[in-house]
Amino acid sequence: MQKTNTPLVSIIIPVYNSAPFLAKTIECAISQDWSNKEIIIVDDGSTDNSYLIAKQYENDIVKVFHQSNKGGSSARNCGLQKSGGDYIQFLDADDLMPTDKISKQMKYLAPNPNSVVSCKWVRFKNNITETIGVIGPHNCLKKNLNPIDWLICRHTILLHCWLTPRVLIKKAGLWNEKITYNDDGEYFYRVVAEASSVLYCDETIVYYRTENKESVSSMKSEKRFKSEYLSALTYKNTLNKLTDAEIAKTAIGNFLKYLVFQMYPLYPSLIKKCKSHGEYKYANIKPYNAGLSKIISSIFGWKLTKRIKNLF
């Protein structure tokens, strides 16, 4: 292979039973106009023909691996170990990117090698012309930020929005394979904490498919909430290492209180754990802040309001 001074970007795609969508995802990775790239596909014990679909694309650039079913975080860790890129692009097997996504973001990272960069995102159904809802992220993230301010804001950034230098990934460590819900949030709390700055690229956008999300992310199970509690602990520990400012304690408290709100009244032991943290007392969010629920909550409190809503 001819040597090049262009940095290598590794696109890592974990796959589990994604046959209806996988071909388009692989093709969007192949079509990236960044010239020096490799695509690492890790099949995580699929029971459909996802692995066979991926193998059809295998060549010098596209490399396909298989492992027994261990979860998305394990598959991403495998992809990291198999990849050799200077920069890492994670991409789930049913989501899409435009052809210029990586090249547009590399313009931001080239002069800032110790930074991480995100971009816009939007939900879609069958194809990217069928977008749903507003374009993210939240306004507080649509600018360049230092890691502390980014973590305090803590709004959703989709996994494939990010482009990350491997040097930051080495510092942050591997994906936590015990976490199944908010696994990407937990991971990028650690990545962001190692960066000198968090850049925002407004020149490109990624697409998040909504029709194939029958995963733990859409469940209200105890497993989900145990996982999110672990991610909250990472968030707390990460932010506390960077600052002891009261605004950071409020951000941690709000994370914990919102988790309590989501769980109430089903999982009292987890709720008790959330409330045991000192930062919980700094929380200032109101679970209901609009409409009839706000009125009822102001009279009877949010706990009774939620019980009433659950009845109906």
- 75-86 pLDDT, tens digit per residue, is 999 999 999 999
pLDDT surpassing 70 at residue 104: yes
Long-range CB contacts for residues 243-250, cutoff 8 Å, separation at least 24: 243/148, 245/148, 246/282, 247/152, 248/148, 248/151, 248/152, 249/278, 249/279, 249/282, 250/279, 250/282, 250/283, 250/284
Is pLDDT of 4 > 80? no
pLDDT tens, position by position, 249-285? 999 999 999 999 999 999 999 999 999 999 999 999 9
Q: What is the dihedral of CA 204, 209, 214, 218, to 10 degrees?
A: 50
Question: Is residue 10 within 8 Å of residue 87, measured between CB atoms?
Answer: yes
Domains, in order of start, for the chain: 9-215 (3.90.550.10), 244-311 (no CATH)
pLDDT of residue 1: 43
On the question of pLDDT at 179 being above 90, the answer is: yes
